Structure 1
Amino acid sequence: MSAAEEILDVVDEHDRVVGRAPRGEVYARGLRHRCVFVLARDAAGRIFVHRRTATKLVFPSLYDMFVGGVVGAGESYEGAALREAEEELGVSGLAQPAPLFTFLYEGAGGQSWWSAVHEVRWDGPVAPQVSEVDWYDFLPEEEVLGLLGTWDWVPDGLEAYRRLRLHRGLPAGLPPGPHQ
């Protein structure tokens, strides 16, 4: 089954399931669905940052400080967070990512999805999927903050990161833009 054929839950503005549709249809029609964001840190506390491949259905070739993706039909946020983090990092035996908060992302062009933000620590080597990740590294948070106004980042990841910093009582740290 291709990614476009994967079945997703369609949800309303209160995150209640109102139907199901293939991912390709969900994207094409701008239907609200669910996604997970997992901030992965190494033993030194550095953040896993990567550039998405040019073949990604959403936000191709942009940088992201989260691993994650869509929540499948009938799947929990927690189950999707673990599955997506292990897939994108290319690891197994990852601890269950800690759930932090959820929010409704509303982007340009009517994009809208419920987003669950998680965090996890991984102290071993990673082997990201070449179909998902063009480049990666673990970067100190100060370096990530310095790159926010320089690199082209996925807009939903920027919003999740802004909200994560505020959730922790830190300044948002983002340059002015549509995400604020």
Structure 2
Amino acid sequence: MDPADEVLDVVDRDDRVVGRAPRGEVYRRGLLHRCVFVLARDAEGRVFVHRRTASKLVFPSHYDMFVGGVLGAGEEYADAALREAGEELGVSGLPRPRPLFKFLYEGPGGGWWSYVHEVRCTLPVAPQASEVEWHTWLSQEELDRRVAGGEWAWVPDGLEAYRRLRAFGAGGALPGGGALPGDGARGGTQPAPGS
């Protein structure tokens, strides 16, 4: 199936489903939808970083420190996180990614509810060639240097998720506005249930 034909749930600013539409239409009309971001770490704690293929509908040829993607119509965030991590890393048998928080991303490329997860991947990876053009594992320090350095074109939603993840992990206020976990403010960060 052509990715543009995949049917997605359309949601409102409170992440409630209000309809369904093909992915191409969702992107073209800028409709809110749902995505998952999964930070994958190896046994040494390094982060999986990759460059997206030039054929991607959104942010082609950009670097990303998350694997993930859109939720299909009727799909749950947790199921999508496991599916996307397995597909993009090219592994089966991953543990279920740990949900961390979600936020409403609004920026270049549109707007979507983004649920951030983390997973430990101790298996050899074989990323999908249709999704990932290049990949490596970076230490946290090296990733922070690459993000700050500006020499790589990062996906804007991934940068926003990473900024929030670093603030969330540090237990501090979110830089540049946004909300602390759980305050429910529009565009703020909400913790995962049970966290």
Q: What TM-score do the two structures reach when normalised by structure 2? A: 0.86
Deviations 1:39-77 (A, max 9, x none): 000000000000000000000000000000001100000
Structure 1 partner of 2:48: 48
Q: Which runs of 5+ in 1 are unaligned?
A: 175-180
Q: Which runs of 5+ in 2 are unaligned?
A: 176-195
d(CA) in 1 for partners of 2:121, 2:108? 33
Structure 1 partner of 2:83: 83
4+ residue stretches of structure 1 with deviation over 6 A? none
Deviations 1:10-30 (A, max 9, x none): 000000000000000000110
Q: Which amino acid aligns with 2:115?
A: A
d(CA) in 2 for partners of 1:121, 1:171? 24
How far the C-alpha of 1:124 sits from its partner, in A, is: 1.4
Q: Give 1:85-104 correspondences, 5 Å limit.
A: 85-104=85-104
Count of residue pairs the alignment pairs up? 172
Structure 1 partner of 2:137: 138
d(CA) in 2 for partners of 1:152, 1:128? 20
d(CA) in 2 for partners of 1:78, 1:36? 8
How far the C-alpha of 1:162 sits from its partner, in A, is: 0.3
d(CA) in 1 for partners of 2:119, 2:151? 26
Contact kept? 1:20, 1:73, Cα under 8 Å: yes
Does 2:177 correspond to 1:157? Answer: no
Deviations 1:117-141 (A, max 9, x none): 0000011100000000000001101
Q: Which amino acid aligns with 1:147?
A: R
Structure 2 partner of 1:177: none
How far the C-alpha of 1:2 sits from its partner, in A, is: 1.1
d(CA) in 1 for partners of 2:100, 2:44? 21
Structure 1 partner of 2:170: 169
Structure 2 partner of 1:59: 59
